Structure 1
């Protein structure tokens, strides 16, 4: 059956600025793919990320480059060879999963052979601000099970202390987004242990993370920017204790599931993350989050208006989209 593929740029305004070490975001720019075959339509979303040399324009161009192959019937495994890992491949891959599920009259979970996604703890993010403002933000979500603290190299100790004081019972992830150096990572270890931080995410740049190879942290360190696909896992396993999988890095659910299984086989911890996105990105990521020790899927919570029927956050517990939103017939 002939397929018809379309791709477009969608923009979602945020309710407030999302501030991390490398900049501030006030809107989410995504690429939405629609794949039609007869009466069925599959959808997918990718979030191009400048850190990885991506833009909305480059993603749309990449998708246009595989249009003929996808419309002629190329599947998810063929797509792995047609496009490199990234937001463009993610959007097409997830549209293929969604279309396949609808054509088969089955859910994506059934196609995977896994349980349906259920409500799970997902980190609520405290963005970079003064320690006082970060403490105030943490106080508002203190009852959440998991909080992520964005920091940089300026006053991270005071910022983390402020959040921990305001939310004494929550699990904490500290995320410098590559802004620390090796000396600061080492210097911060006693404080991270004292404040019972559960995870330190990508403290140093992926380009210099060899310094972690001989380092014995007091708090587990997760690879984010340092790992995209299974191709980097050998090196990452020598430097990190946890792998953060994002579908936009892996280039879709197909590769993300492979990476999740390989990560578990190596005895490493597993985290599922996201970009600032709509629920269309998160619906697919829930199938990896189900396998994970940590989930950080609060992207849609930052949107002024999400796609109808998407995920719902209730004080740090994330509930799946309504039936039929994505991956269910």
Structure 2
């Protein structure tokens, strides 16, 4: 099989905006849309596509992504490869869009699927969480009843201990048999976390994502973990993975954080070697973002790929959600 042809490629960059059905609140932020960078790589016959949604907590917004992607246009059009891209740009949304475009282009040039090129088994449907944005306990309980009853439930917290406890109790009351995970999005400190943990255990919560702020990981030393702790903001790229051992039980891989499918797969495999569980998440992109993440999901214990469910409109064709599962048609990407 011939190598990917990277000579004489044309790079096209486009900004697209996808408004939400309603504002989405987490700890410290309220989102109303996702602005994505779409990268297209063409060899004159085939076109590979990728999408980046950026990383809000690192300042990786749409302007930053455009600037980064534009800075490597000359190198890419001169023949830089996907492997070389990893050194040309740091992790982030721009590299994610370009990396996924390279994968998609290579698959089309070779007449194969990306999962084959990546050495994966043929993808299968995955059980995916559906996320409840932070709101009042009453509204979140109603939302928990309105979503697919077969889907695992992910609950956004805000760091307000009393309100978060009320949210958890209300949701567990109306969904007594559901798998529930909570995401603190850096909203707690060591003191308030100690008060939250017994509530999570009593409510049968399955996992806690990112309890403390990024940069405060050492504060977890000595804290007993009565349920799995999942690193999100603390785990941006491959180089962060080893430092999670002993403080977290799992890593949440997001392709926008780590800069694409290439590094996402590397993190999943390295995490396994280190004895960590693996989760795949998303930065609220469209189905074009979910498709490569879906491949990482084939290696994961927990899957959180519900971004398109928050959008007023998604791409067509798009991923499908039914009976608690996400299905990703081949036509979307790869």
The question of a shared fold, defined as TM-score above 0.5 by the shorter chain, is answered with yes
TM-score (norm. length: structure 1): 0.96
Query: Is the aligned partner of 1:46 residue 2:48?
Result: no
Query: Is the aligned partner of 1:70 residue 2:76?
Result: yes
Greater mean alpha carbon deviation, residues 139-148 or residues 282-291: 139-148
User: Displacement of 1:238 after TM fit?
Assistant: 2.7
Match of 1:141 among 147, 151, 157: 147
Rounded to whole Å, the distance in 2 between the matches of 1:19 and 1:144 is 24
Give ranges in structure 1 of 5+ residues lacking alignment. none
Aligned to 2:202: 194
Matches within 5 A, 1:224-303: 224-303=232-311
Rounded to whole Å, the distance in 1 between the matches of 2:158 and 2:330 is 40
User: Displacement of 1:120 after TM fit?
Assistant: 1.0
Greater mean alpha carbon deviation, residues 93-102 or residues 177-186: 177-186
Q: 3-state SS of the aligned residue for 2:217?
A: helix
User: Displacement of 1:145 after TM fit?
Assistant: 3.1
Match of 2:29 among 17, 23, 26: 23
Q: 3-state SS of the aligned residue for 1:101?
A: helix
Rounded to whole Å, the distance in 2 between the matches of 1:317 and 1:17 is 24
User: Displacement of 1:234 after TM fit?
Assistant: 2.1
Give ranges in structure 2 of 5+ residues lacking alignment. 1-6
Rounded to whole Å, the distance in 1 between the matches of 2:68 and 2:159 is 36
Paired residues of 2:23 and 2:30 also in contact (CA < 8 A): yes
Matches within 5 A, 1:35-184: 35-141=41-147, 143-154=149-160, 155-184=163-192
User: Displacement of 1:62 after TM fit?
Assistant: 0.7
Alignment deviations for residues 230-266 of structure 1 (CA, whole Å, 9 cap, x no partner): 2112211131111000000010000111110000011
User: Displacement of 1:30 after TM fit?
Assistant: 0.6
Alignment deviations for residues 256-290 of structure 1 (CA, whole Å, 9 cap, x no partner): 11110000011111100001110001000011111
Rounded to whole Å, the distance in 1 between the matches of 2:303 and 2:89 is 27
Rounded to whole Å, the distance in 1 between the matches of 2:241 and 2:191 is 25
TM-score (norm. length: structure 2): 0.95
Paired residues of 2:271 and 2:278 also in contact (CA < 8 A): yes
Paired residues of 1:142 and 1:167 also in contact (CA < 8 A): no
Please identify runs of 4+ aligned residues in structure 1 that moved more than 2 A: none
User: Displacement of 1:20 after TM fit?
Assistant: 0.8
Q: 3-state SS of the aligned residue for 2:215?
A: helix
User: Displacement of 1:315 after TM fit?
Assistant: 4.7
Paired residues of 1:87 and 1:249 also in contact (CA < 8 A): yes
Q: 3-state SS of the aligned residue for 2:245?
A: helix
Paired residues of 1:141 and 1:315 also in contact (CA < 8 A): no
Query: Is the aligned partner of 1:210 residue 2:218?
Result: yes
Rounded to whole Å, the distance in 2 between the matches of 1:89 and 1:81 is 10
RMSD of aligned residue pairs (Cα, Å): 1.1
Number of aligned positions between the proteins: 326
Alignment deviations for residues 166-220 of structure 1 (CA, whole Å, 9 cap, x no partner): 1112211100110111112111122111111111000110121211122111111
Query: Is the aligned partner of 1:11 residue 2:17?
Result: yes
